[in-house]
Amino acid sequence: MSGDDTLPETYRPRPAGRQKPQMNRGKRPLNLRSEMAIWAALKAVTLTLALTAISVVTITAHIERESHDDVAILANDVAQNFDHRMSQSYRMMEMAVGLDVLRDRWASPYQKSAALANLQITFADCLWIGLTDRQGIVTATGDGRREGSDAHLEPWFVEGSRRAMIGDLHRPQDMGLALQPIGEVERVIDLARPVRDPLGNVTGVLGASISWKWAQEFRAMLLRNRSGTAGIEILVTDRSGRILIGPSQLIDRTIKFAPDAVLALRHNANGMPAPGALDSRIGLANTLRLKVTAWPDDGDYISAVGTGAGYQDFPGLGWNIVVRQPRAIAYAPADLIRDRLVMVGIGLAVLSPPQSAA
């Protein structure tokens, strides 16, 4: 009997070729119910994420569209209000050249000056109004300034002797009227019309200088009323895009415009909005025809451009009303809702209870 035979079986050396049997550690195959539960959970997660993504896109697009509509409505409204206000001065000139005392070549300068003074007092925007003879000599004014001076080379007389004239916005010292600005008036507009006697012969030119201070006050009022809309700015440019009214650092700088092809497609041949093409709130006028292609300060903005189209017999100034808002501010509500929807969607997907297997 060998020494190994006396050892307990546990301590006996194993034969060289024998290995300890291994336990089967492989995963138990899933039954059909378990597989169905996993697939159901995956479907629920996928559906939740898909619905969240659709909601994010839809709501974000709606809010962004609302932001664009807001600036478009404001630009359209401001353009129309500017035209309405200027039409009052335009009609004032039309009424004035029809006054008998101004058409009567035999009326005294005193009588004509008295009539002009009444007009200047009645129309608060009128800084100066004067009448010339056919040679361009100022014969009567509303406040006595420039009486007897020669205006035959000044644009308002040259153009006004032929037809109704509307000048560009400019500083008072740039024109021949040598006005002393009232208050803080910085810009004026020249209006002029030929004066005809009862037989239709031109006897002189009626010219006026119209203050643009009301436009600055109107712009400031709109911005105050929209104080809850952060970052909104209103700028007024001439036909070439030169900024006439706006933040001081942008005055006389240029905005580049281009025709808005999308809006052009939404209008019919008569220039009116096609039915259903635009939101009903901004389909009220055909003033929104341009878009901004470059800003002088290189900012990133959403914007709308309203161009004055005139009012009644007033042909309009052709200026552009630009309303802009930084894109980051305009889209902030959409970004906030998007982030919250994404978090809710992820939370629902994670917490979706899988179906238990029996």
- Residue-wise pLDDT tens digits, 65-116: 777 777 888 888 888 888 888 888 888 899 999 999 999 988 999 999 999 9
Give the model's pLDDT for residue 265.
43
Say how far apart CA 159 and CA 194 lie, in whole Å: 9
Q: Where are the domains of the chain?
A: 86-211, 215-332
Q: Name the residue with higher pLDDT: 214 or 195.
A: 195
If one counts every other C-beta atom within 10 angstroms of the C-beta of residue 67, the result is 20
Q: What are phi and psi of 62, to 5 degrees?
A: -65, -45
Say how far apart CA 80 and CA 67 lie, in whole Å: 20
To the question of domain 215-332 being in CATH 1.10.287, the answer is no
204: confidence class by pLDDT, cuts 50, 70, 90 = very high
CATH classification code of 86-211 = 3.30.450.20
Closest CA to 151 of 130, 170, 180: 130
pLDDT in tens, 119-159: 999 888 888 999 999 999 999 999 888 899 999 999 999 99
Tell me: pLDDT of 179 over 60. no
Identity of the residue numbered 231: G
Equal CATH topology for 86-211 and 215-332: yes
Say how far apart CA 14 and CA 288 lie, in whole Å: 96
Q: Is 284 left (phi over 0), alpha (psi -120 to 50) or beta?
A: alpha
pLDDT in tens, 2-13: 555 554 555 555
Give how far Cα 64 sits from Cα of 91, 178, 284, 340, Å: 41, 49, 21, 17
Q: Name the residue with higher pLDDT: 32 or 9.
A: 32
Identity of the residue numbered 91: R
Average pLDDT over residues 306-328: 82
Average pLDDT over residues 303-323: 83
